[in-house]
Structure 1
Amino acid sequence: MADLQEYKCPCCGGAIQFDSALQKMKCPYCDTEFEMETLKEYDAELKNDTEDDMQWETAAGSKWSEGETDGLRTYICESCGGEIIGDETMAATMCPYCDNPVVVMKQFSGMLRPDCVIPFQLDKTAAKEAFKRHLLKKRLLPKVFKEEAHIDEIKGIYVPFWLFDTDVQANIRYRATRVRSYSDARYIYTETSYFSVLRGGRIGFDRVPVDGSTKMADDLMESLEPYDFRGAVDFQTAYLAGYLADKYDVDAQQSSGRANERIKHSTERAFANTVTGYATAVPESSNIHLSNGRSSYALYPVWLLHTTWNGQMYTFAMNGQTGKFVGNLPVDKKAATRWFFGLAGICSAVAYGGAWLLWLLGIL
């Protein structure tokens, strides 16, 4: 089997790629469009490909040290012959010489096949515009950052996700309080009553996502949620053409711990919302039991953007389906100080005005 798979245009021979706007494969050279169904036979034909046996021997160079090449992979672009270097999790990329999209078919051998994929709905231009909008109306953002900020790198990548379905039976006990105040001619009294509040019931979870790549920060990926799973389709490698893609390096079993954390937190929050009418409600014990647990493997679309300012790199991400944009920004310390003291002044004025009003009413 060939290491790299390119989808060639039968009209002009150029490399075709998935167009997020058309939801079809399109040749960027002759503008020919192809329905996704017509490319399904490609995946079946890949099994019949044979691998070239072209070994060369050379005395040039020196041997790598032990462990120095761990995780390093090299491939040859079938369009221009250029060498593509990547790591062991790279599953789709662009040739750095001819810019043709390629899918690293060998990376899928021995790995689970994705059950589904949410195709990109938004292109690179939309990601750039979202970055500009992200900088607007940020009062504490340094002005020079707005003026000088430029995108060092932007890439569309399919991120591997494990999706967890489960039913939850939960029993949670809360220690709750109610507070009542009253007074007489001499004292103000506060009475606190304590209650033991029990909550039990069932709740279901569908497709709780956990990213399966150690390259992606969990908090960054979770900030891009939610994805609309109604846009998911059966997986075809053709969807990867024109984008980067990682295969998972954290399997479903290893990801289940993060899924359990999210499910437990969401369950406790949902049950806590039913404990009303109390001043405080603190959980004392929690028993959560999972049943009918299932997991599936999906690829979700993400645009990653990087910019460097004052020697520090800032990473931003955009949901390639919905356009939700997240990322941290630098803070103008002088503007933040002015804002803090201005807010403090307003609070002081409000407090003074409130005390003056109470004095007029004879309460103080």
Structure 2
Amino acid sequence: MEEALKQAAPATFPCSGCGGAMTFDSESQALKCPYCGKEEAIAASDFEPVEHDLDTDFGEGEEDSSLTDWGVKQQTIHCESCGGETIIPALQTAAACVFCGSPKVLAQGDRASIRPETVIPFRVSENEAVESFRKWKKKRWFVPNEFKRGNVRSKLTGIYIPYWTYDSETSSDYTAERGDYHYRTVTKTRTVNGKTETYTEQERYTVWHWVHGDYDRSFDDILIPASGQYDSELLEKLGNFELSELTGYKPEYLSGFIAERYSIDRSQGWERAQERIEDTLRSEIRSEIGGDEIRGLSIRTSYYDRTYKHILLPVWNANYSYKNRPYRYMVNGQTGLVSGHVPRSAVKITFFTLFCLALAALAFYLYIQYGSE
């Protein structure tokens, strides 16, 4: 198993000094030989990210061969346990899944897959990722103290996660009923200490009227994970990538790392992007309508100038166990941001719950005693 986890890459980029296989080094942003330390610069790319037309571009399964050339011969590895698919050099052997650690992986041969045109290379090293997780777990509230203080043994794997980005112009028509609060003074009576007294108070009522309008909005670089191997919560929390640092794809950046093959295609990705767009439009249109209440909101949106990009973004993936239970965390390979699952302390959660209940009981007691006065 240890040999399988090494994932030793073939000498695709041989060192000119000792002949060893050079891998990408996040610190120097160059190829580096792990044996003699020799570094070799990667030629700067002047490639500008290209937005492809989502409406008129070729359909799924009809990929342009120029967009499926990864620069080195590839093979797809499929995990029978979690369904994860990674793309590795054809000569590389893999007997364990980089996602779940399962040994049940099968070579799928050379499957056509859109090659990303741009990539953000790793800038956070493995040691820096471990340190980021150590600091992050110390800030968690409801984790056992033993876990906070102790060292977590985990195997980190550098993975380039596939993403889609989408741009779109939108034009929306909307109708709704807007409700505005008004107040009037009303006279009432009440009995105090056996005596009837008259008093006044402000009574609220709502005035409704129909509204309609147009709303135009541009959306740029909506980031959608094309990976189906992680829960969306973890990936969403890693989404602070600086896309301005995208650079042209070069196979050198993948040397020593794993690239995941997208499992969410462009049309599926667009459906998710469209959901985000609609949520944003609904929120912004509600703000534009204003008022105190809104009911019967109906929005009809037209989309045009829809474009997409396929990119690779760097993530450190780690699986670890605590008291025989498995957990996972990920670290943004560009910024060092951490997202993960941690064990919970039943004792801390119980004390916190009792404290909240005590506060609620105290508030209720004070309301009963003084709220009616």
> TM-score higher than 0.5 here?
yes
185, 201, 223: which is aligned to 2:188?
A: 185
Q: 1:26 to 1:351 in 2, by over 3 A?
A: same
Unmatched segments (≥5 aa) in structure 1: 41-45, 51-66, 91-95, 97-103
Deviation for aligned residue 1:356: 5.6
Superposition RMSD on alpha carbons, in Å?
A: 3.8
1:240 and 2:240 equivalent? Answer: no
1:289 and 2:302 equivalent? Answer: yes
Verify the 8 A CA contact 1:74 1:84 in the aligned structure 2: no
Verify the 8 A CA contact 1:301 1:320 in the aligned structure 2: yes
Verify the 8 A CA contact 1:74 1:86 in the aligned structure 2: no
Give deviations 1:218-267, integer Å, cap 9, x for gaps.
33222211211111100001100121111223321232211211222222
- Secondary structure of the structure 1 residue equivalent to 2:116: coil
- Secondary structure of the structure 2 residue equivalent to 1:291: strand
Q: For residue 62 of structure 1, what is the aligned residue in structure 2?
A: none
Report the Cα distance in structure 1 between the residues aligned to 2:125 and 2:22, rounded to whole angstroms: 16
| Residue identity in the other structure for 1:230 | S
1:29 and 2:35 equivalent? Answer: yes
Verify the 8 A CA contact 1:73 1:85 in the aligned structure 2: no
Q: Describe how 1:188-227 pairs up with structure 2 within 5 A.
A: 189-227=203-241
Q: For residue 139 of structure 1, what is the aligned residue in structure 2?
A: 141
1:171 and 2:173 equivalent? Answer: yes
Report the Cα distance in structure 2 between the residues aligned to 1:264 and 1:173, rounded to whole angstroms: 15
Give deviations 1:88-117, integer Å, cap 9, x for gaps.
xx9xxxxx9xxxxxxx9x75x632221100
Q: 1:141 to 1:174 in 2, by over 3 A?
A: farther
Report the Cα distance in structure 1 between the residues aligned to 2:336 and 2:88, rounded to whole angstroms: 33
14, 24, 27: which is aligned to 2:20?
A: 14
Give deviations 1:124-149, integer Å, cap 9, x for gaps.
11211121122223332122333556
1:333 and 2:346 equivalent? Answer: yes
| Residue identity in the other structure for 1:336 | I
Moved more, 113-122 or 219-228: 219-228
Q: 1:20 to 1:270 in 2, by over 3 A?
A: farther
Q: Describe how 1:30-109 pairs up with structure 2 within 5 A.
A: 30-37=36-43, 83-85=93-95, 107=110
Report the Cα distance in structure 2 between the residues aligned to 1:317 and 1:282, rounded to whole angstroms: 41
| Residue identity in the other structure for 1:185 | K
Q: For residue 101 of structure 1, what is the aligned residue in structure 2?
A: none
Q: For residue 321 of structure 1, what is the aligned residue in structure 2?
A: 334
Q: 1:136 to 1:282 in 2, by over 3 A?
A: farther
Q: 1:200 to 1:313 in 2, by over 3 A?
A: farther
Unmatched segments (≥5 aa) in structure 2: 1-8, 47-68, 74-79, 190-199
- Secondary structure of the structure 2 residue equivalent to 1:111: coil
Identity %: 22
258, 261, 270: which is aligned to 2:272?
A: 258
Deviation for aligned residue 1:151: 3.2
Deviation for aligned residue 1:350: 4.3
Verify the 8 A CA contact 2:84 2:229 in the aligned structure 1: no
1:304 and 2:307 equivalent? Answer: no
118, 126, 132: which is aligned to 1:116?
A: 118
Deviation for aligned residue 1:10: 0.7
Verify the 8 A CA contact 2:87 2:259 in the aligned structure 1: no
How many residues are treated as equivalent by the alignment?
A: 318
155, 158, 166: which is aligned to 1:156?
A: 158
| Residue identity in the other structure for 1:165 | D
Verify the 8 A CA contact 1:39 1:238 in the aligned structure 2: no
Verify the 8 A CA contact 1:72 1:85 in the aligned structure 2: no
Report the Cα distance in structure 1 between the residues aligned to 2:70 and 2:266, rounded to whole angstroms: 26
Report the Cα distance in structure 2 between the residues aligned to 1:287 and 1:47, rounded to whole angstroms: 41
- Secondary structure of the structure 2 residue equivalent to 1:37: coil
Report the Cα distance in structure 2 between the residues aligned to 1:24 and 1:219, rounded to whole angstroms: 32
Verify the 8 A CA contact 1:76 1:84 in the aligned structure 2: no
| Residue identity in the other structure for 1:22 | S
Moved more, 330-339 or 8-17: 330-339
Moved more, 134-143 or 237-246: 134-143
| Residue identity in the other structure for 1:325 | V
Deviation for aligned residue 1:4: 5.4
